[in-house]
């Protein structure tokens, strides 16, 4: 079988690939979460949470320094609204869209020629939902099936663009940065990866780019 190459950087000696999750492997839409909270009477969530900046509460959830219930309680306080936990979760998870079977098939193909990793800024509430959805779609496989190793920020206690999180993945798996491709949809994360020597690509999902269009 011919080796699948990453066409924008096919001149490089890539042996390892680190994927972001949201916006890369799994489509997400932050506007859907903002709209869902607006239906609950929350008008200002967009001032608290965006793709590139978050208030401390969301950072702590992503870093796993607070529990899901602590997050829900603090969010009620922050918003000054007694929203039921189930409604918080429903609105918070609204940004998660459907899995693309073609991307999942690509990941399985890539593992025949590359070491493949996932590095995601994510939290326990989101993780439980998208892994459950994935297991339903695939007959029992969660994300660990598609990668050599999965790294979630809430399990590591740190999140991108902290350079330590990239260094951890490299050191734990004996990866050379110059032989490792990192794909993410957030410029700050790409900048941090480039600074430690990773071959990096800023994917642009709003322009129609997907990993299936970029690997040939």
Q: Is 20 a catalytic residue?
A: yes
Do 84 and 35 fall within a single domain?
A: yes
Do 196 and 111 fall within a single domain?
A: yes
pLDDT tens-place string over residues 134-162:
999 999 999 999 999 999 999 999 999 99
pLDDT tens-place string over residues 89-124:
999 999 999 999 999 999 999 999 999 999 999 999
Candidates 10, 200, 190, 8; CA nearest to 113 is 10
Candidates 160, 170, 139; CA nearest to 23 is 160
Do 17 and 41 fall within a single domain?
A: no
Domain housing 118: 7-27+99-214
Q: Is 59 strand, coil or helix?
A: helix
Question: Considering its fold, how many domains does the chain have in total?
Answer: 2
* pTM of the complete model beyond 0.75: yes
User: Under 8 Å CB-to-CB from 180, ≥6 apart: which residues?
Assistant: 14, 15, 16, 17, 18, 170, 198, 199
Catalytic residue among 20, 62, 184, 185: 20
pLDDT tens-place string over residues 63-80:
999 999 999 999 999 888
């Amino acid at each position: 079988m011919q080796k699948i190459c990453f066409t924008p950087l096919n001149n490089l000696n890539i042996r390892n690939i680190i994927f972001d999750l949201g916006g890369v492997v799994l489509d997400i839409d932050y506007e859907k979460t903002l709209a869902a909270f607006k239906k609950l009477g929350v008008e200002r969530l967009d001032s608290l949470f965006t793709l590139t900046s978050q208030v401390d509460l969301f950072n702590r959830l992503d870093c796993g320094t607070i529990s899901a219930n602590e997050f829900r309680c603090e969010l009620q306080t922050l918003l000054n609204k007694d929203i039921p936990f189930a409604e918080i979760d429903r609105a918070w998870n609204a940004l998660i869209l459907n899995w693309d079977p073609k991307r999942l098939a690509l990941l399985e193909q890539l593992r025949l020629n590359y070491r493949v990793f996932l590095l995601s800024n994510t939290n326990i509430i989101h993780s439980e939902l998208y892994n459950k959805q994935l297991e339903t779609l695939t007959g029992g496989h969660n994300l660990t099936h598609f990668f050599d190793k999965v790294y979630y920020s809430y399990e590591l206690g740190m999140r991108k663009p902290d350079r330590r999180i990239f260094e951890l993945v490299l050191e734990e798996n004996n990866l050379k940065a110059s032989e490792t491709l990192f794909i993410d949809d957030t410029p700050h994360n790409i900048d941090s990866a480039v600074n430690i020597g990773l071959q990096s690509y800023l994917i642009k999902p709003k322009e129609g780019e997907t990993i299936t269009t970029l690997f040939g």
